[in-house]
Structure 1
Amino acid sequence: MSQNASQNAGQNAGRNASRAGNGVLRVLPWGSGGLGSQDHQRDMYLPAFREHPGFRVVEPADAADAPEAGGLGDAIAETGAQVVCVCAPADERADRIVEALQAGCHVLADKPMALELRDAERVAAVAAETGRVCMPAHHHRFGAAVQAARGALAGGRVGLPWNVQADFLVDGGDPCPQGELVNFGLYPVDVVSSLTGQAVRRVHALAGREPGRSAVLLLDHEHGLTSTITVGRLHGTAGAPGMALHRYRVSGSGGVMDVDANRPGATVRTAAGTRTAWHAPGTVARMLTALHTAIVTGRPPEAGPADALAALRVTAAAARSLALGAPVALDPSEV
């Protein structure tokens, strides 16, 4: 992209962002690369953006033939996008996020936001420098049951939490080439962080019976809190992917709270496969509402680069722990 095109992209996006409170936000989908066979852009984000009243999807004129032919900066300049939904391949995702932020756009970033800590740190620095909203797509923290549980915990409903037991198990689907710890691990780690607000200090990871498909994370948090997270992918019982278990049990000094993160929803099994029918806005729709609110109000987003960085530090430490067969301490200065 030329220097003039880059300047125009930044100027256009800046003017558009300044008018964000006056109407619907224009969102540009960029990329369709995920881990393995994933295409979260097609399957999750685009449908949710199109249904959300706060956003309008815009695409370059040549998007049907070559979605990325002209470069991201040119696409931003052409469409006047205010938000970019970045689903570039994982090894280049951080570069595209930084490019969108520096062009003056807000960003929804597919997970993981970056594969390497240094790239996640770079994204966090650019987001802080530009003042744009950069929300990692940790959509499970926005579930109705999780949000209600967080409010109850903050209100002292079970006293001071001392332990969290979590299960995040997906039924069927294509295995992730990088392993399910990389693929799924950040979700329950992020939810536990959202629920308790306590950073992780030490990670001890144990491999499941089939390495790569499942793992158990034994986490030591600040202030004596501990958590045990089982994460992985089952072989499948219904011929189609779906959430098998997503739950949290929080033990506190005054009681125990059980959280079924699949609520309020019902599992629907048909000849075509298995899906969850939500009886309220789903996690992705609620995430987009939080994104829209942060942009138009100027308030800090409920999830930002620091949350993605914190989760990545834990999953990276878990991978080291598996390789070493021993616990791994996190540097307190980085938490």
Structure 2
Amino acid sequence: MTVAIIGPGTIGAAHAAAWREVGVEVSHLVSRRADATLQDAPNARAVADLDVVLGDPSVDIVTICTPTPTHREFAVASLRAGKNVLLEKPMALSMDDAEAIAKEAGSSGGVLMVGHVVRFFDAYLRVRELVEAGAVGHPFHVRAERMIAPPDTPWWFDEERSGGVAVDLGIHDLDQANLLLGHPIGVRSAATHPLGPVETTVRYDDGGLAQGMSHARMPATTSFATALQVTGDAGVVATRFIGGERPVEEFTVRGAVDAGDAEPAEPTNPYARQAAHFLECVASGTPSAIAPVDDAILALSTALAARDSLRAGGAWMPVS
């Protein structure tokens, strides 16, 4: 089984490392640069023409790591050619594009999964397991934070190409909130700066509430930080990570499940865990149960509502 990566940039490199870790060769890098290389894909051939990959029967999986507006074109073409597709999030920048990709997946022979990699983070998996085990009773509130240093990718700063902080960064935590609380019905967002902090509030159909903070102006010394807290009628589960020279990792449970100060599992590469899961899906020919396409569409709808709320000065927006 071999993989072609479309877009061998920073995220493409993360996927290449993951494929190498799970023992799958990256055979092609699709790029406008004829000299494109990735350290973890030493034998990959750089090609500018996607049709070279789509016409190669030895390529089983296409991993798409390009700017979001290109996702529909590349995903639909790859699925139509019978390839299995691991598509980076956000799935698209419009519901029409997302639904077109999903429709093609439904009619083609390929398996589609959207790379909501946070679903494969050790601590976040542990939070979900504890909530499902009843640690907090009935969950009714989620508080999430995600902070990064400004990316070194120029297109990311163009909201028409990335969706802005509310979409490209915030979608991770909105997806987690949907996973934990159910179906969102309304979204409101406010920001002090285009790069954040962006504060988003989401209401859910059973009365749940989520609050997310997305921020893309962290200093290089603390380039990544994230947190998730789930509160229910019987307790709280929380995790926090702050990167830097002396990383801080916390995991706490106070609730119906007597777990004390629970420690997450031994850290693993979430991209590798995601890749291994996708391989299982491809081998069985079945869609992912961990990261279903319908959930990716719902996360996109929620994120687009957050973006629209920002554009409307903080008005409540429905989730389509």
1:26 corresponds to? 2
1:199 has 2:187 as partner:
no
2:169 corresponds to? 184
User: Structure 1, residues 2-24: CA drift from partner, whole Å, max 9, x if none?
Assistant: xxxxxxxxxxxxxxxxxxxxxxx
Assess if the C-alpha contact under 8 Å between 2:196 and 2:216 holds in 1: yes
1:149 corresponds to? 127
Deviation of residue 156 (structure 1)? Answer: 1.2
Assess if the C-alpha contact under 8 Å between 1:73 and 1:103 holds in 2: no
Deviation of residue 160 (structure 1)? Answer: 0.3
1:72 corresponds to? 50
Q: Normalising to structure 1: TM-score of the pair?
A: 0.77
Matches of 1:281 and 1:112, distance apart in 2: 23
1:288 has 2:275 as partner:
yes
Q: Taking every aligned residue pair, what percent have the same amino acid on both sides?
A: 26
2:17 corresponds to? 47
1:298 has 2:282 as partner:
no
1:252 corresponds to? 232
Partner amino acid for 1:204? R
Matches of 2:223 and 2:112, distance apart in 1: 28
Q: How does 1:1-335 map to 2 (within 5 A)?
A: 25-32=1-8, 39-42=10-13, 44-53=14-23, 55-59=24-28, 64-65=34-35, 67-69=46-48, 71-78=49-56, 80-174=58-152, 176-178=157-159, 179-196=164-181, 198-207=182-191, 209-238=192-221, 242-244=223-225, 246-260=226-240, 262=241, 267=243, 269=245, 279-301=266-288, 302-325=290-313, 326-331=315-320
Matches of 1:330 and 1:173, distance apart in 2: 28
Matches of 1:268 and 1:88, distance apart in 2: 28
Matches of 1:314 and 1:41, distance apart in 2: 26
Deviation of residue 316 (structure 1)? Answer: 1.0
Assess if the C-alpha contact under 8 Å between 2:7 and 2:30 holds in 1: no
Instruction: Structure 1: give runs of 5+ residues left out of the alignment.
Output: 1-24, 33-37
**CA 1:61–1:168 in 2, change beyond 3 Å: closer, same or farther?**
closer
Assess if the C-alpha contact under 8 Å between 1:73 and 1:100 holds in 2: no
Assess if the C-alpha contact under 8 Å between 2:143 and 2:211 holds in 1: yes
Assess if the C-alpha contact under 8 Å between 2:142 and 2:177 holds in 1: yes
SS of the residue aligned with 2:66? coil
Q: Which stretch shifts more, 251-260 or 174-183?
A: 174-183
SS of the residue aligned with 1:216? strand
2:40 corresponds to? none
User: Structure 1, residues 105-140: CA drift from partner, whole Å, max 9, x if none?
Assistant: 111112222112211110011111124221111101
Give the total of aligned pairs. Answer: 286
User: Structure 1, residues 47-75: CA drift from partner, whole Å, max 9, x if none?
Assistant: 2112222x221128999558443x32322
SS of the residue aligned with 2:59? coil
Assess if the C-alpha contact under 8 Å between 1:29 and 1:57 holds in 2: yes
Matches of 2:199 and 2:243, distance apart in 1: 25
User: Structure 1, residues 249-304: CA drift from partner, whole Å, max 9, x if none?
Assistant: 111011111123x4xxx94639xxx9x9x952122111111111111123431213
User: Structure 1, residues 309-332: CA drift from partner, whole Å, max 9, x if none?
Assistant: 11111111111111222101124x
Partner amino acid for 1:59? H
Matches of 1:248 and 1:210, distance apart in 2: 23
Assess if the C-alpha contact under 8 Å between 2:187 and 2:309 holds in 1: yes
Assess if the C-alpha contact under 8 Å between 1:60 and 1:79 holds in 2: no
Assess if the C-alpha contact under 8 Å between 1:48 and 1:284 holds in 2: yes
Deviation of residue 79 (structure 1)? Answer: 5.8
Please report the RMSD computed on the Cα atoms of aligned residues, expressed in angstroms. 2.7
SS of the residue aligned with 1:257? strand
